[in-house]
Chain A
Amino acid sequence: MTRDRQPSASSTVPSIRATRQAIREGNDSLEQVVSRCLAAIAAGSDINAFITVFDEQALEAARRIDGQIRSGTAGPLAGAVIAVKDNIAVKDCLMTCGSRILHNFIPPYDATVISRLQEAGAVIIGKTNLDEFAMGSSSEHSASGAVKNPVAPGHVAGGSSGGSAAAVAAGYCHAALGSDTGGSIRQPAAFTGVFGLKPTYGRVSRFGLAAFASSLDQIGPLARSTEDLAAVLQVISGHDPLDGTSAQEPAPDFSASVASLNGKTIGIPAQYLGEGVQPEIAAAVDAAAEKARSSGAKVVSVDLPMTDYAIATYYLICTAEASSNLARYDGAHYGFRAEGVRSLEEMYTRSRSEGFGEEVKRRIMLGTYVLSAGYYDAYYRRAMKARSLIRRDFEQAFATCDLLLTPTTPTTAFRSGEKTTDPLAMYLSDIFTVSVNLAGLPAISFPYGRDDQGLPIGLQCIAPAFDEISLLRAARFFEQNG
């Protein structure tokens, strides 16, 4: 295992703070920064990180914000260039969700996270590629083609927020928004060597996020540093009256997170280091634990006995919700409609058969089955019970620990095409991330060295609900003590 932290790709942009400072001092302009980002995106088009790039629109915003920075009226994120996963609505801009069925859909509304970013002075540079409707772990299931890993040629970028992770890793922007239903921010962050944070369920508004599994979905940031990660999280967090599930909990000051683990108790769940974990990743967890211990943290082993049921529970709940959430894509009102249909039933069956990809159809069928009369009790209701038990596992662990430390993924980025024909193997790559969504907890993936092939390793910290501060502190500690 090597632990050199050499930049994986030549970065077009430094940190948000450095960019803003350079602009304020007259050494750069946001317009030039955005131009360089656009040029880099164009040069890296083979990565296929973006579905839509906002060239002129982004430059225009940059010119406006340049003026604000100079006149001292700019918002807290002025200077930031941010990419957005293409399942998050930006008003009047194409939103495909990586699906043919929304190939022409233009939302007449902004997601709450978008209006908050824009009010804070961020420039949105484009919409990133993803697994169709965020269903997948490799960003290979997209109507816009597969995303490539910019730091590991021949390997996947992870998914479903693979385009966002690739854009950040390749330095096309300061940060990106992803969505995480079962690991879709953390796993691609790990595969591409960047930071990715899945906030507590309810911390960030879901309004404008095309739903995959509503009780699990959460928008979160990806960035190359905890500082940028915290800056974006700060702006997008907080209650939203447009989302009935968004929490009333006020957002604390995330930027103030100090890099210390002194006096903290860190739990390492035995179930997350068993068979199937790549040796270098297990070694990285040990190394991180040792670092923490040596700087004053207490490291203990904890038990999460329900972990074995997490994948089954997750796939029952997420497919059930997906089958319902995706019922609206029926060819009747917007998006793709099959041509030459002669009846209502034919319009539905052909529009959906031709408009959705294989993985999405697989999950819709599974979910429809899970909710069917006669199976609901056996599957959905039992999965909800298992979900409560999984939540209780974590509550018990947090009775004695401040944080949990685990691998983000059992392996580093796998090869492109390796798992596309084996859905079950693909599902298992989420094994360490899905429990967090089932329990509604916050978790962060941070880069921690590389494996023998030079592929980035990501480790995960999990905290109690609404304790993102502890995650940022821990990640900052490991960022500085890699």
Chain B
Amino acid sequence: MSEQQHMGFEAVIGLEVHAQLQTASKIFSPSSTAFGAPPNTHVDPVCLGMPGVLPVLNRKAVEFAIRMGLATHCRIAGRSIFARKHYFYPDLPKGYQISQYELPLCEHGYVEIEPEQGEKRRIAIVRIHLEEDAGKSVHAEEYVAGDETLIDLNRCGVPLIEIVSAPDLRTPREAWLYLAKLRQLVRWLGICDGNMEQGSLRCDANVSVRPVGEKKLGVKTELKNMNTLRGVEKALEYEISRQIAAVRRGETIVQETLLWDADRNVAVPMRSKEFAHDYRYFPDPDLVPLVIDDAWRDRIAAELPELPDSMRLRFTRQYGLPEYDAAILTEERELAAYFESAAAEARDVKAVSNWIMGDVLRVIKEEKISIAAFRVAPKALAELVNLITEGVISGKIAKQVFAEMLENGGTPKQIVEEKGLVQISDSSAIEQAVADALSAHPAEAERLRNGEGKLIGFFVGKVMQASRGKANPKMVSELLQKQMRG
């Protein structure tokens, strides 16, 4: 889509984001929440909805939800209520989902996003509430024949928070940024792994369009089944274009739910029957009101880690890092901690930042590992950077040392010593090497002496080659400068 096509229209987008909380057990029963177990092995009478069993609220799930509420500047309700949301579906054994309706746990918060162009934007969060996940219908051929459907209830009862934004987002890119921000936060807080492909973070979008300047909202549609950040952006681009085109043609938008088909890049309307629900919400009489006293809330607040926005600002102030570096280093809490550990030992903090943003993140990406699993300890990285700063090795040699550390372990100093990689900074040895290079290439040497400066690079290369990278390139370059006649 292009801005041109949307001329005169704006989109209004609100997101409903579900995040699975990484508690050990389910929200109302003792079964494990671990992902990937054989079907129906993480179940118990409570999550199976057997007659007479009762839900008992998992305190950890409440704490996790409060963490997110505090991190998004929400008001934490001193008293909130669980409600039953009714619909019949085989992956919902009780015939209702326990959720929150009239009095949610968290309300009136916000997060800030920073579009590439333009001002920082504050996106309001209407509410964050706790609820239980449903099971899964399995149609996979390994289990079922023909038109049968099997049910896996391992996921049933896994704690979720639903984070509902105000309709404050105006472009698919803003939706992407907002969702990325939420994903960053849930990971940062250690409450959700944020994995959209596995469904531990899920996003539905409500979207409508209206002429620029119009205050009244257009008819909205709901988009579901986007399994990646990019998918959310693409589905919104598709749907906004479709709605604008329809309005231009004089058609009215029908309120409906559409499923994003990532293979075909289209959003397909669900059959209306599948979502025509009257959920008949009412307070769950099996659960007493959830009371959060100030002491509990304050303790959770005190235990909250420094949040990414604040840490980012601190990195620019405390370490003098550019905004760009600070943003990348605070993308993940573990990465930020890695940087800070290394920075504490390093003389050149910006160089540490460069190494992390460059080689460290490259390796992590290539190997698809987390920073926690990265083999070079922050202390070792700092030592490596210090060797460059001190002139013991060149940047080029440092890359070799880094590769060696990754391959076989060991500290930078050990490797530099064992492999004889110490930079040659002895001026007589370097003078000799420069003289050798000049006499080996008399024609170029003559041109250099006549002032052809670009040949300095040529000779530095030759000297470095001859010294197998160990000559101090700065000293080599200085000596060559002196060869040039005024």
Contacts and interface: CB of A to CB of B under 8 A. Distances in A.
Interface of A: 87-89, 95, 97, 102, 105, 107-109, 111, 206-211, 213-215, 241-245, 320-321, 323-324, 326-330, 332-334, 344, 348, 368, 371-373, 376, 380
20 contacts: A97-B51, A107-B50, A206-B54, A209-B52, A210-B51, A214-B286, A245-B54, A245-B287, A324-B96, A324-B280, A326-B95, A327-B95, A328-B95, A333-B48, A334-B50, A344-B90, A348-B88, A371-B280, A376-B280, A376-B282
B51 A105 contact: yes
B52 A207 contact: yes
B86 A215 contact: no
A334 B281 CA distance: 25
B429 interface: no
Nearest to A217: B285
Contact of A215 (B50, B93, B95, B285): B285
B51 A373 contact: no
Contact of B52 (A111, A326, A371, A376): A111
Contact of B49 (A87, A328, A368): A328
A372 B88 CA distance: 15
A275 B288 CA distance: 39
Interface string B58-102: 000000000000000000000000001010101001111000000
B151 A332 contact: yes
Interface in B19-73: 45, 48-57
A380 B280 CA distance: 11
A333 B280 contact: no
A320 B110 CA distance: 37
Contacts of A105: 51
A214 B282 CA distance: 13
Nearest to A95: B51
A144 to B, nearest CB: 16
Contacts of B84: 324
A330 B52 contact: no
A211 B49 CA distance: 11
B3 interface: no
Nearest to A348: B88
B51 A244 contact: no
B282 to A, nearest CB: 5
B418 interface: no
Nearest to A133: B51
A402 B468 CA distance: 101
Interface centre among A107, A108, A330 (most CB of B within 10 A): A330
Contacts of A344: 90
B141 interface: no
A84 to B, nearest CB: 12
A243 B53 CA distance: 9
Contacts of A326: 95
B407 interface: no
B90 A332 contact: yes
A380 B282 CA distance: 9
A327 B53 contact: no
Contact of A244 (B45, B52, B54): B54
A330 B49 CA distance: 11
Contacts of B119: none
Given A109-B53, A333-B151, 17 more contacts: A206-B54, A208-B52, A241-B56, A244-B288, A320-B282, A323-B280, A324-B84, A324-B86, A327-B86, A327-B88, A327-B94, A327-B95, A328-B51, A328-B93, A329-B51, A332-B93, A333-B48
Contacts of A209: 52
A330 B285 contact: no
Contacts of B281: 371, 376
Nearest to A107: B50
Contacts of A213: 285
B55 A244 contact: yes
Interface of B: 45, 48-57, 84, 86, 88, 90, 93-96, 151, 278, 280-282, 285-288
Given A209-B52, A211-B52, A371-B280, A328 B94 contact: yes
Contacts of A211: 51-52, 286
B75 to A, nearest CB: 25
B49 A333 contact: yes
Interface centre among B49, B53, B93 (most CB of A within 10 A): B53
A372 B90 contact: no
Contacts of A245: 54, 285-288
A160 B327 CA distance: 67
Nearest to B57: A244
Given A330-B88, A332-B151, A371-B282, A107 B56 contact: no
B288 A208 contact: no
A372 B280 CA distance: 5
Contacts of A111: 52
A372 B53 contact: no
A244 B286 contact: yes
Contact of B56 (A208, A215, A242, A330): A242
Nearest to B88: A348
B282 A243 contact: no
Nearest to B89: A344
B269 to A, nearest CB: 20
A245 B285 CA distance: 8
Nearest to B45: A109
A6 B86 CA distance: 52
Contacts of B54: 206-207, 242-245
Contact of A327 (B48, B56, B96, B287): B96
A163 to B, nearest CB: 17
B51 A368 contact: no
Given A108-B45, A109-B45, A333-B48, A244 B56 contact: yes
Contacts of A243: 54, 56
Nearest to B49: A328
Contacts of B45: 107-109
A324 B54 CA distance: 14
Contacts of B55: 244
A169 B155 CA distance: 48
A220 B13 CA distance: 54
A88 B278 CA distance: 31
B88 A89 contact: no
A88 B86 contact: no
Contacts of B282: 320, 324, 371, 376, 380
Q: Which 4 A-B pairs have the closest CB atoms?
A: A327-B95, A210-B51, A215-B285, A214-B285
A65 B328 CA distance: 71
A127 B57 CA distance: 31
A327 B284 CA distance: 14
Nearest to B286: A214
A348 B90 CA distance: 10
Nearest to A332: B90
A348 B93 CA distance: 12
A207 to B, nearest CB: 5
Nearest to A368: B280
